[in-house]
Amino acid sequence: MSQKNKEKQYFGTDGIRGTVGRYPITPDFMLKLGWAAGKVFASNDKGRSKILIGKDTRISGYMFEAALEAGLTSAGVDINLLGPMPTPAVAYLTRTFYAQAGIVISASHNPYDDNGIKFFSGDGTKLPDEVEFEIEEYLARDITTVDSRYIGKASRINDASGRYIEYCKSTIVSDIRLGGLKVVVDCAHGSTYHIASSVFRELGATVKTIGASPDGLNINDACGSTAPEQLVREVLAEGADLGIAFDGDGDRVIMVDHLGNVVDGDEILYVIARDRRRRNIAFGGLVGTQMSNLGLQLGLEALDIPFVRASVGDRYVMSELKARGWQLGGESSGHVICLDVASTGDGIVAALQALSAIVSGETSLYDLRTKMSKFPQTMINVRFSGKSSPLSNPRVQEAVKAVESQLGRKGRVLLRLSGTEPLVRVMVEGEDESLVNRLAQELADSVREAVA
């Protein structure tokens, strides 16, 4: 079977992820995964291989770090341990240390009892499919240890956070200073807890930090980009100019303006794109996803900025960007990719691009976000059973056409299957919120009737 038609057993769109203690998120699997990855990268490199390992603040990270270390060294690979470090920092440091790969132990925005593994190639991008397939092939074999003289060594990089802080600061032009800005930063008790505030403070901002006391269990717990309510309260209480919230591994960012309005990834993308156009910085166009708000699309059209949609997932956004030679893309969830300054989605870097737009334009986040009219959007999940997809049901297709005809160009309908559960996600968006809610419910009812 060709790899094109083959399905991966372990790797998903964003690495390997699940509940701690349930296969494959177990110490024995991580030991073998480390060995398998070590064999692949050792065989693909002419010299002695080196792999970096970073993690977020979950308590299980210690356990999996040790297991990966044993597996990798048994395959003859040297390791540099980074400790708690944002996912995009591992991507950056993998490049700067000329390592063969980088590994992140993280489940991103999930609660503490989940964990996972993400890999980066030597150039700081996600692994190609063929490398993931090769690792899975080794996972089916028995572990063999290299001769003792070739066993890998492990060492710790003590200045990793300082290197990454300087890199983040370098992604905006040198004459941009954040002096005069009062910012609240929510680190989600995750891997940005010892980094993010330093970046903004060293650039001149006055910073109030929350969500920066990780205990191994509180990562993403009622805080961070997936739960910005606490950040909203702090911004209003502090009279801050804006707030910035990251997720547990620092690759997502959500912002809050001075009035307490949440600014999502679509709006952040618009702010950055508009600023690049204003300053005549070439970036090609912008890649969103099927879930990107119609308001983003229309706002970019008004600026004569090309826009295309990729499948949901930053992996697909990245693929589309590279295929088109464009520089900017992302998702409403807060994944923002700026390929002119970073090799992957980076929450801190994206926030700096938005702050640069605010400072250089002598305006506010509120003023910038209101240049784009965000459309009301309603999502309803409909569970189904059976192997056949409800999306191909003629009754469902007719119902979709009926809703689309009512919305016209000022609205959008999307039905898509969940990648993890037997669910149809029914999404309707348009100018009139009450109409959107009613049509979404009617369409969801049509799907339920068709699968009953």
Residues 45 and 152 in one domain: yes
Examine the fold and report which residue of 374, 407, 430 is the final residue of a domain before the chain moves on.
374
Residues 297 and 404 in one domain: no
Give the three-state DSSP class for 422.
coil
Report whether 22 contacts 81 (CB < 8 A).
no
pLDDT tops 90 at residue 85: yes
Residues in contact with 85: Cβ distance below 8 Å, sequence separation at least 6, in sequence order: 54, 55, 93, 104, 160, 161, 164, 191
Q: Residues of the chain with pLDDT > 70: what percent? A: 97
Report whether 225 contacts 330 (CB < 8 A).
no
Residues in contact with 62: Cβ distance below 8 Å, sequence separation at least 6, in sequence order: none
Mean of pLDDT values over 372-389: 88
Residues 108 and 20 in one domain: yes
Range of the domain at 59: 16-160
Distance CA 200, CA 352 (A): 8
Residue 168 in domain: no
Whichever domain contains 397, its CATH number is: 3.30.310.50
Select which of 60, 108, 197, 332 is catalytic. 108
Residues 383 and 354 in one domain: no
Give the total number of structural domains in the chain.
4
Mean pLDDT of the chain: 95
Count of residues making up the chain: 452
Active-site residue flag, 74: no
Q: For the ranges 41-45, 176-180, 373-377, 435-439, which has the lowest average pLDDT? A: 41-45
Q: For the ranges 279-288, 292-301, 328-337, 417-426, which has the lowest average pLDDT? A: 417-426
Residues 22 and 147 in one domain: yes
Residue 7 in domain: no
Residues 321 and 432 in one domain: no
Residues 405 and 334 in one domain: no
Residues 285 and 354 in one domain: yes
pLDDT tops 80 at residue 447: yes
DSSP per-residue string spanning 336-396: EEETTT-SS--HHHHHHHHHHHHHHTT--HHHHHTTS-PPPEEEEEEE--SSS-GGG-HHH
Tell me which of 420 and 415 has the higher pLDDT. 415
Residue 345 in domain: yes
Mean of pLDDT values over 308-330: 95
Residues 29 and 154 in one domain: yes
Residue 3 in domain: no
Whichever domain contains 187, its CATH number is: 3.40.120.10
Examine the fold and report which residue of 335, 350, 374 is the final residue of a domain before the chain moves on.
374
Residue 165 in domain: no
Tokens of 315: 């992996």
pLDDT tops 90 at residue 420: no
pLDDT, position 47? 60
pLDDT tops 70 at residue 3: no
pLDDT, position 1? 43
Assign 4 a pLDDT band (cuts: 50, 70, 90): low
Q: What is the pTM of this model?
A: 0.93
